[in-house]
C-alpha cells in the first residue's frame, strides 16, 4: 500500500512539474486603401477597425501568447495603402483588442515612410504599451528589444525577427532594421542563449511572393536555425500559405511554418485572400523545454458590401464552411475554394495537422454572419 501511495505521489509531482504554454502566430497585417476607407467613419473622420476581427477574436484569444506581423507603418496622415503603407493608429487598437500580444516588424514595408514614419510607428506602439521587435529607433532601442523577452505562465521566451530587405529603401541612421544576415543572426541567438530563456523563437520575412512552396534559401536558413538550437521558426512575406514541418527525434523537437499567408488585406486574387493561424505548444519539464504540439487553423477574409462600403471580416474558415445559411453564396463558394487550396498546400506538411472543430448541424432562420458565428462554434476537440 505504501509503495502504491509513493508511486502516486511521484506521478503527481511529475504532472505538477510539467508546464505548458500555447503560442499562436498570424501572418501579414496589411492596410490597403480599401481597408482604410472601410474603417473610416464618414461623420467624424475617425477610423474603427474593431469589426474586422470580431469573428476571429474568440479563436485568437484561446492562445496564451499571440504574435502578428505588422506590415504597415503608423506614419500618420495622409493614410495610404500600397505601395507605401501608412495605416491609422486605431488598426493597432483593434489588433490589441483581438488578442495580439506582440508585433514582429522587420519586413519589406517597415520603412515605407522613411525615418519619420518608422520612428512615429515605434512611438505609437510604445505609447500603447505593445511589445515589438525587428525594427528599432537606434542602437539603445535595439539593445532593449532585441531579443524581445516575453514572460507568461512562468515561461520566459526570446523573440527575434529578420527581413530579406526593405524594398530598396535605405534605412536612415540611427534607425536599425534587422536584415537576414547569418553572422548577425548567430550573434543575436548567442546573446539570447545567455538570457535564461526557455525558448528562442525566430520570425523570418523571406521567400518568393505568391509561391506556395518554400524556396531553397528558406530551407537553408531553417536548417541553419535548427542547427543553432532554434526550435520554432515562423515565416511571412509570400502572401500565400506554405507548408509546415514538425520534426521530432531524440535530441530535438523543432518546427517551421514557412509562410502564414495574409491575415488581413485587400489582396483578393486566389489564394491571397486567406491565411492560417499557426499554433505551437511548448512544454517544460524540469530544465527542459520542447515543442510538444503544433497545429493550424485556416482563416479567410470576407469582404461584403454593406451600406455602400466594402467591409472586411477575418473569418474562422472551417467553422463557417458548415453553416446552413450564408448571406452571400458567391463569397461562401470562394471561401470553400480557398479552404481546398490551402489544404492542398498543407498536404505537404510534416507532423502538423489542421485543428479539428466540433460543428453542429446549423439551421438558421435569421440571416447574417452574426447569427452564423453565434451558432456555429461549439469548441475544439
Mean pLDDT score of the chain, rounded to an integer? 91
- Indicate the pLDDT class of residue 378, thresholds 50, 70 and 90: very low
Lowest mean pLDDT of 243-247, 279-283, 334-338, 376-380, name the range: 376-380
pLDDT tens, position by position, 242-288: 999 999 876 679 999 999 999 999 999 999 999 999 999 999 998 88
Q: State the Cα–Cα distance between residues 101 and 61, nearest whole angstrom.
A: 10
Per residue in 68-127, pLDDT (tens digit) is: 999 999 999 999 999 999 999 999 999 999 999 999 999 999 999 999 999 999 999 999
Q: How confident is the model at residue 13 (pLDDT cuts 50, 70, 90)?
A: very low
pLDDT at 341 over 70: yes
Q: How confident is the model at residue 381 (pLDDT cuts 50, 70, 90)?
A: very low
Mean pLDDT of 279-304: 94
Which is more confidently placed, 224 or 1?
A: 224
pLDDT tens digits for 213-251?
999 999 999 999 999 999 999 999 999 999 999 998 766
- Residues whose CB falls within 8 Å of the CB of residue 197, separated by 6 or more in sequence, listed in order: 147, 149, 156, 157, 158
Q: Binning pLDDT at 50, 70 and 90, where does residue 327 land?
A: confident
Percent of the chain topping pLDDT 70: 88
Name the burial class of residue 292, with classes exposed (0-12), middle (13-18) and buried (19+) by CB atoms within 10 angstroms of its CB. Answer: middle
- Residue 364 burial by CB count (10 A; 0-12/13-18/19+): exposed, middle or buried? middle
Confidence band (pLDDT; 50, 70, 90) for 376?
Answer: very low
Residue 291: is its pLDDT beyond 90?
Answer: yes
Give the pLDDT score at 377: 42
pLDDT by residue (tens digit) across 31-82?
Answer: 999 999 999 999 999 999 999 999 999 999 999 999 999 999 999 999 999 9
Q: Closest Cα partner for 272 from 209, 224, 362, 203?
A: 209
Q: Kindly write down the DSSP assignment for every residue of 128-197, as one continuous string.
A: TT--EESEESSHHHHHHHSSEEEEETTEEEEEEEEES--TTPPPPTT-EE-B--HHHHHHHHHHHTTS--
* 241 phi/psi in degrees, rounded to 5: -75, 150
Confidence at residue 252, expressed as pLDDT on a 0 to 100 scale: 77
Q: Where are the domains of the chain?
A: 19-300, 318-375
pLDDT band at 372 (very low <50, low <70, confident <90, very high): low
Instruction: Report whether pLDDT(370) > 80.
Output: no
Residue with cell 474568440: 58
State the pLDDT at residue 230.
97
Nearest CA-CA partner of 113 in 164, 78, 70, 137: 78
Residue 28, pLDDT above cutoff 60: yes
Give the least confident one: 12-26, 49-63, 136-150: 12-26
**Distance separating alpha carbons of residues 315 and 325, to the nearest angstrom:** 15
pLDDT, residue 44, reads: 94
Please check the confidence at residue 361 and state whether its pLDDT lies above 80: no
Cβ-based neighbour number of residue 153 at 10 Å: 12
CA Rg value for the chain? 21
Q: 19-300 belongs to which homologous superfamily?
A: Metallo-dependent phosphatases (3.60.21.10)
Under 8 Å between Cβ of 64 and 280: no
379 — pLDDT class (breaks 50, 70, 90): very low
Distance, CA of 103 to CA of 110 (rounded, Å): 12
Amino acid at each position: 500500500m505504501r509503495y502504491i501511495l509513493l508511486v502516486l505521489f511521484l506521478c503527481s509531482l511529475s504532472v505538477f512539474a510539467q508546464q505548458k504554454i500555447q503560442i499562436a502566430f498570424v501572418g501579414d497585417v496589411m492596410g490597403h486603401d480599401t481597408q482604410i476607407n472601410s474603417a473610416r467613419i464618414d461623420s467624424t473622420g475617425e477610423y474603427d477597425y474593431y469589426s474586422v476581427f470580431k469573428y476571429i477574436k474568440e479563436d485568437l484569444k484561446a492562445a496564451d501568447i499571440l504574435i502578428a506581423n505588422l506590415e504597415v507603418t503608423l506614419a500618420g496622415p495622409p493614410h495610404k495603402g500600397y505601395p507605401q503603407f501608412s495605416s491609422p493608429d486605431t488598426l493597432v487598437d483593434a489588433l490589441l483588442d483581438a488578442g495580439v500580444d506582440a508585433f514582429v516588424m522587420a519586413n519589406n514595408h517597415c520603412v515605407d515612410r522613411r525615418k519619420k514614419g518608422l520612428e512615429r510607428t515605434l512611438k505609437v506602439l510604445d505609447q500603447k504599451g505593445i511589445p515589438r521587435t525587428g525594427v528599432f529607433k537606434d542602437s539603445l532601442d535595439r539593445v532593449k528589444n532585441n531579443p524581445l523577452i516575453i514572460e507568461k505562465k512562468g515561461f520566459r521566451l526570446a523573440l527575434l525577427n529578420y527581413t530579406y530587405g526593405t524594398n530598396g529603401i535605405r534605412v536612415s541612421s540611427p534607425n536599425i532594421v534587422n536584415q537576414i544576415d547569418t553572422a548577425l543572426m548567430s550573434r543575436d541567438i548567442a546573446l539570447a542563449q545567455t538570457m535564461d530563456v526557455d525558448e528562442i523563437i525566430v520570425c523570418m520575412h523571406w521567400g518568393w511572393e505568391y509561391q506556395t512552396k518554400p524556396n531553397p534559401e528558406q530551407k537553408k536558413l531553417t536548417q541553419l536555425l535548427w542547427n543553432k538550437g532554434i526550435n520554432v521558426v515562423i515565416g511571412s512575406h509570400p502572401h500565400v500559405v506554405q507548408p509546415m514541418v514538425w520534426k521530432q527525434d531524440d535530441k530535438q523537437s523543432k518546427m517551421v511554418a514557412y509562410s502564414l499567408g495574409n491575415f488581413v488585406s485587400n489582396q483578393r486574387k486566389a489564394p491571397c485572400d486567406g491565411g492560417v493561424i499557426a499554433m505551437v505548444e511548448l512544454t517544460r519539464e524540469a530544465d527542459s523545454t520542447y515543442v510538444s504540439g503544433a497545429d493550424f487553423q485556416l482563416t479567410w477574409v470576407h469582404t461584403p458590401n454593406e451600406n455602400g462600403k466594402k467591409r472586411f471580416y477575418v473569418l474562422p474558415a472551417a467553422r463557417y464552411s458548415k453553416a446552413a445559411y450564408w448571406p452571400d453564396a458567391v463569397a461562401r463558394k470562394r471561401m470553400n475554394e480557398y479552404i481546398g487550396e490551402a489544404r492542398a498546400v498543407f498536404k505537404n506538411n510534416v507532423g502538423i495537422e489542421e485543428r479539428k472543430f466540433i460543428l453542429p448541424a446549423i439551421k438558421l432562420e435569421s440571416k447574417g454572419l452574426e447569427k452564423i458565428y453565434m451558432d456555429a462554434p461549439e469548441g475544439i476537440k
